[in-house]
Amino acid sequence: MATLGEPQAGTVVRVSGPLMEVDGVEGVAMLEILAVGPQRISAETVAIAGNRATLQAYEYTGGVKAGDAAVATGNQLTGLLGPGLLGQVFDGLMRPLSSAPLWLTPGRSTSEEDPGILARKWTFVPSAAVGEQVSPGDVLGTVPGAGSVEHRVLVPPGISGELAWLASESQVRALDPVARIGSREVSLAERWPVRSARPFRDRPAGAVPLHTGQRVLDLMYPLARGAAAAVPGGFGTGKTMLLQQIAKWSDADVIVYVGCGERGNEMADVLDGLSQLVDERTGGKLIDRTVIIANTSNMPMMAREASIYTGICVAEYYRDMGYDVVVIADSTSRWAEALREFANRNGDLPAEDGYPANLASALAAFYERAGRVTTLGGRTASVTVIGAVSPPGGDMTEPVTTDTQRFVRCLWLLDRDLAYSRHYPAVSWTGSFTRDEEAVGRWHTANGDPGWAKRRARAASLLAEADRLGDLADIIGANSLPGHERMVLLGGRLLRDGVLMQNALSANDGFCSAEKGAALLDLVLDVVDTCQKLVEDGVPATSIEQADHGPVLRAREETGPRDAAAVSSRRAEIVRGLEALR
C-alpha cells in the first residue's frame, strides 16, 4: 500500500474496551491502521470527525491511557500473500500463530510480517519469457514445496506491460523481487488489503457440484462450487462436526478454515485431525491443502471481526491461481456480534436485537465474495463459502439467521430434535434448501448419473410422507394405519437411519463417494418398493416391520467409503429375505 503522507502522531483521549478515540491525527483515512501506545497495538480507523478519529483496537487495550501517542501507519489491514500459507495457522490479522508464544500477549508483534516468514527462502522456478507482454493473472513462475497444490506466482492486479526482467531459478525470500514489468517490480509475495475483494474477469454460467462426502448434503441439498451455504443450528446440533467433516472430505483444492470466535480446543482438534489424515488425491496430509485462521472466542474481539475477511482474502489468492477453494467460517454469528459490540460502544443507533443497521449489507458483501469465476488469467476457479450461524436460543428468526438466508444458495438447517436423538449430521429435511438443485441435476445428467434428480425427488417425497404419517401415528398409533402407510413409515426410517445418518468417526462411513451414496439410496428405495409389493400381496405389515433390516441399515458402515458395488450386491439377498415372508 502506498503511504498516505508522513506518519502523523495523535493523542489518545478516550479508551473504552476496544474503542479508542484519538485527537490530532490529520489526514488519516478510513480503515487506516494506527499504532497506539508504547506497545504499538494495531487499531483501525472506523470514523473520522474533524481531527478526531475513532479506532477499533485489534488487541487488549489494558493500560492504554489518555495522552498516549497514536501513530498513523499509512496502511490498511493487509495480508502478506505468498508461499508458506498452506499448512499454517494464523490469527485474525494474519499474524502467524505457529511461531507465536504460548500466551498471546499484546506486545508480541505489531504486524503480520513475522521475521521467520520473511527470512524463509523458497525456490522460484520461472515459467514466463522476458520480453513478453504480460497482464494481471499471468503466471510468472512456480514455487515447489509450498503445500499440496502448485504455488503459482502471478502478475498482480493492476500491473501489465512488457516483462523486462524475470529471476532465474533461484532461492528467494517473500519480499525479494522475482520480476520487473515495465518499471514495476513484482516480489514473490504480495500485500493485499483484506477487506477489498480481489478482481476477476467474470462469472461463467453453469454449476458444478462440490462433493462434500456427506450424503445428506450431496444427495439432498447439494452445493455448487462458488456458491455460499449457511449452516444455522443451536448449540449441540453438530455444526462444528459437520464443518470439520467438510474440511476433511470435500473435493476442493484448498480449504481455508476460519475459526471465528469459537473454541480453542476445537482449533487444536482441527489442526491435529488434518495433520494426521492423508489426502488421497496427493498422498500428502490434508493440512497441506489447508490454511487455518484461528481467532478463538477469548482472543481480541475486533480481530475476530477482521478474521472473516482475512480468510476470504487468502481464498481469493488461491482462486486466482486457478484453484477451487472452500472457505469455512465458524461462526459468522460471532463476527456479527463483534460488529454489534463495537457499534454499541460507538453509540450507533441499533436496528434489531442491538445489531447495527448495516448488518444485512455487511453479510451480503461477505457472502458475495463467493463465486465461480474466470480469473484475470483466464482460469476457471471458485471460492465456495460455508458459514456457520449460531442463533441465540436456537431462534431462527433472529437477525443474523434471517439476513443470512437471503444471501446464500444453500441452507443446511441443523435440527435440535435430530441431534438429541443422535441423528447426525442433524441436517433437517424440512427447513433446509438448495437453490441449485436443477443445475446440479443437469451436471449429474451430463456426468454419468442421469437418475440423480429423480432419486432425490423420490427420497424427498418419501421423507415428507413419512413425517406426515409419523405425526398421525403419534396420535392414533402406527398399528391403526393401513399397511401401505406403515411401509412408508418403515421406508422413512430406513432412509433416515440407513442413508442420511452418517457416522463421522467411522473409517467406512465418515466419507461417502457419490456412487456409494447413490447406491445406498437406490438400495433403500428398492427395499421400500419390495415391501409395498408384499403388503399389496397380503403379507402382514407387522411381519415386514419386525424383519431384520440390519443388512440395509448397516450397509453404510460395513462397506468401504467408495464401494458402491458392495452396497449394490446386498440388494438381491435382502430382497430374497423379504420375499421369504410371503
Partner 1 sequence: MTDRTTTPGAADSENLPRKAEGRISHGDVRELRGPLLVMGDVAGVGWDEFASVDVAGRERHGLVLEVDHDLVTLQVLEGTDGMAPGNIRVRFAGQPLRIPVGPGWLGRVCNGRGEPLDGGPPVTGDTTLPVSGWPLNPVHREPPQEPVLTGISVIDALTTLVRGQKLPIFSVPGLPHLALATQIAAQATSGGTAFRVVFAAMGLTHADIAYVRDRLEERSAAGELVLLLNAADDPVIERILTPRIALTVAEHLAYTEGHDVLVIMSDMTSYAEAVREVSAARREIPARRGYPGYLYSDLASLYERCGRVRGQNGSVTIVPVLTMPAGDITHPVPDLTGYITEGQIVLSAEVAARGIYPPVDALSSLSRLMRSGAGAGRTREDHLDVAAQVLAALARARQAAELAELVGAGALSETDRSYIAYRGQVESGLLNQGHDELRSLDDTLGRAWSALATLPRQELTMLSTEFLDRYLPEGSEAS
Spatial contact of 326 and 211, defined as CB atoms under 8 Å apart: no
Q: How far is the CB of 494 from partner 1 (least distance, A)?
A: 11
Q: Return the C-alpha cell found at 142.
A: 512456480
User: Taking CB under 8 A as the criterion, which residues in 187-206 touch partner 1?
Assistant: none
Position 236 contacts partner 1 (CB under 8 A): yes
Number of residues that bind partner 1 (CB under 8 A): 78
Contact window for partner 1 (CB under 8 A) among 184-192, 217-225, 437-445, 539-547: 539-547
Q: Report the residue number, 52 or 173, with the smaller CB distance to partner 1.
A: 52
Q: What is the distance between the terminal CA atoms of the chain, rounded to a whole angstrom?
A: 78
* Contacts (CB under 8 A) with partner 1, residues 503-532: 505
Cα dist from 247 to 35, 292, 442, 557, whole Å: 36, 11, 26, 21
Instruction: Report the DSSP pairing between strands 324-330 and 254-260.
Output: parallel
Q: Which residue has the cell 411381519?
A: 543
Q: Is 471 in the site for partner 1 (CB under 8 A)?
A: no
The minimum distance between CB 13 and partner 1, in angstroms, equals 5
518 and 452 in contact (C-beta within 8 Å)? yes
Alpha carbons 533 and 145: distance in angstroms, whole number? 59
- Distance, CA of 127 to CA of 120 (rounded, Å): 22
Span near partner 1 by CB under 8 A; candidates 183-191, 214-222, 317-325, 346-354: 346-354
Give the residue with the Cβ less far from partner 1, 170 or 542.
Answer: 542
What is the smallest separation between the CB atom of 334 and partner 1, expressed in angstroms? 7
CB neighbours of 550 closer than 8 A, spacing ≥ 6?
Answer: none
Query: Which residues 134-193 are close enough to bind partner 1 by CB under 8 A?
Result: none
17 binds partner 1 (CB under 8 A): yes
Closest CB 392 distance from partner 1, rounded Å? 6
Distance separating alpha carbons of residues 327 and 316, to the nearest angstrom: 10
**One residue of 9, 31, 71, 104 binding partner 1 per CB under 8 A:** 104
474 near partner 1, rule: CB under 8 A: yes
Q: Which stretch binds partner 1 (CB under 8 A): 129-137, 178-186, 350-358, 511-519?
A: 350-358
Closest CB 294 distance from partner 1, rounded Å: 5
Angle 241-246-248 (CA atoms, 0-180°, nearest 5)?
Answer: 95
516 alpha carbon, distance to own chain's centre: 25
Judged by CB under 8 A, the residue of 420, 468, 540, 565 near partner 1 is 420
Residue with cell 451455504: 229
The interface with partner 1 within residues 259-278 (CB under 8 A) comprises: 259, 261, 263-265, 267-269, 271-272
Could you write out the three-class secondary structure of 384-453? EEEEEECCHHHCCCCHHHHHHHHHCCEECCECHHHHHCCCCCCECCCCCEECCHHHHHHHHHHCCCCCHH
- Shortest distance (Å) from residue 35 CB to partner 1: 16
Report the half-sphere exposure of 461 (CA within 13 A, side-chain side). 7
Candidate list 176, 465, 497, 563; residue touching partner 1; CB under 8 A: 497
CA distances from 427 to 221, 225, 285, 383 (A): 9, 20, 28, 23
Query: What radius of gyration do the chain's Cα atoms show?
Result: 27
Pick the closer one to partner 1 by CB: 165 or 420.
Answer: 420
Q: Which of residues 384-413 bind partner 1 (CB under 8 A)?
A: 390, 392-395
Among 5, 6, 16, 165, binds partner 1 (CB under 8 A): 16
Q: Does 67 help bind partner 1 (rule: CB under 8 A)?
A: yes
Q: Is 549 in the site for partner 1 (CB under 8 A)?
A: yes
- Footprint of partner 1 on 287-306 (CB under 8 A): 294, 296-301
Tell me: does residue 65 bind partner 1 (CB under 8 A).
yes
Residue 127 or residue 479: which is nearer to partner 1 going by CB?
A: 479
Judged by beta carbon, residue 350 or residue 450, the one nearer partner 1 is 350
Alpha helices in 298-357 (DSSP H): 301-320, 332-345
Q: For the CB of residue 339, give the shortest distance to partner 1 in the complex, in Å.
A: 10
